Amino acid sequence: PKDFDVPEEEAIKKLREEFGNYAITKFEEWISRGYVDYILINGKRYFFRAFIDNLLFLCDEEICKELKRLREKRARSARETLIKHVEEIVQGNEEGFIKPRKVGVRMTLRVLPNTLEPGEIVRCWLPYPVENEQQGVVKLLGTSHSQYQIAPSQYYQRTIYFEDKAKEDGSAEFWVEYEYTIKAFYRRINPNDVKPFDEESELYQRYTSEQPPHVIFTRRYKQLASEIVGDTENPYLKAEKIYRWVAENMTYTYVAEYSTYENIGEYVAENLRGDCGFHAILFITLMRISGIPARWQSGWYANPALEGPSPHDWAQFYIEPYGWLFADLSFGRYWRTRNKILYEFYFGNIDSFRTVFNLDMMGNFYPPKKYLRSDPVDNQRGEIETEHRNIYYDRITYELKYKQA
């Protein structure tokens, strides 16, 4: 219910502000077509917090297209920056992890006043960058508290942990500042050089298995995977077919918090809509059923032409003898009809406009969290709890400041 917090009168007001009075006559029709989501609370309709955005994603009427074009015009600079970045990679001679960018970040998380009991212990886990070949050594520049714990590199969802006592007004604040170097990845793949998997290896066993509750090999998924790959045997060509199918058939929409879904994978297979993480889970499930190791990766997308970063999820898949490659499914879906170079790039490769926090979904925290997380799948915004309960997102604000070092 917290995601459906727009009363009907406010929804109509927002609709009028964005589209004018004509849209009011279309409102019920858009609802009946599934373009606008709501729930009933005490007999009254409350609409999804991002219902205007989802309406633009789903509606192909001219009134929606016009507003969509206006919004895309505002984001033109960011798109041009990304296109230039990717074209330089594709047209260059380098392969592997390339084009390093040093980035400075300050993340602040605040618990709103009147949320906590004054003086009670507050525990905070802020996402912290992983350190690997893609993302180099992280340099910690400052923290809100002198005592902290950084999760070891073997944790798939890395964090920096703080404890404090709540302030007199029932609030709390935590921040971390750091620098890291992120690299793009580009590899030219020859399908004829692809080798068979070692199906007894730990990597293969782990990343071709189910991952309940969101990666389940249901009858629907098995049938879909079989229809997509057909009689193709080469793992790389199988993966390419799956990537193209997801890009062609998924519709991007914003979704409720992940904690509200019993099985994200099944929801996506049934509805073929969702955000970047839903795209990634669909891809990962189809890949694993098809015998190709695949895993989650997530963090922030931080295009230098944008005012700030935004949470983003994508995937990786494993091909012998090349190792782990990348697949950004929602980017692939977006660029499929707009730019062939970028559409093909995001199958196998990745840009350097990222901060990587998570190398898998549903990973354990260090130290362990006592209560169920606000987001049990991913970690891009941080988590808060006290000795007695989890503190949900509606009582938290966070701020991200980026700069190219």
Ordered per-residue pLDDT tens for the chain, 405 residues: 688 888 998 898 888 888 888 778 888 989 999 889 999 998 999 998 889 888 888 888 888 888 888 777 768 889 999 999 999 999 999 999 999 999 999 999 999 999 999 999 999 999 999 999 999 889 999 999 999 999 998 999 999 999 999 999 999 999 999 999 999 999 999 999 999 999 999 999 999 999 999 999 999 999 999 999 999 999 999 999 999 999 999 999 999 999 999 999 999 999 999 999 999 999 999 999 999 999 999 999 999 888 778 999 999 999 999 999 999 999 999 999 999 999 999 999 999 999 999 999 999 999 999 999 999 999 999 999 999 999 999 999 999 999 876
Q: Output the pLDDT for position 95.
A: 97
Read off φ and ψ for residue 240, nearest 5 degrees: -65, -40
> CA 4, 8, 10 angle in degrees (round to 5)?
90
Token pair listed for 237: 């060509």
- The residue assigned the tokens 């033109």 is 76
CB 41 within 8 A of CB 1: yes
Beta strands in 153-242 (DSSP E): 159-165, 172-186
The span from the CA of 222 to the CA of 216, in Å, is 10
As a three-state string, the secondary structure of 21-65 is CHHHHHHHHHHHCCCCCEEEECCEEEECCCHHHHHHHHCCCHHHH
- State residue 74's pLDDT score: 67
φ and ψ at residue 112, rounded to 5 degrees: -65, 150
Taken as a whole, the chain contains a residue count of: 405
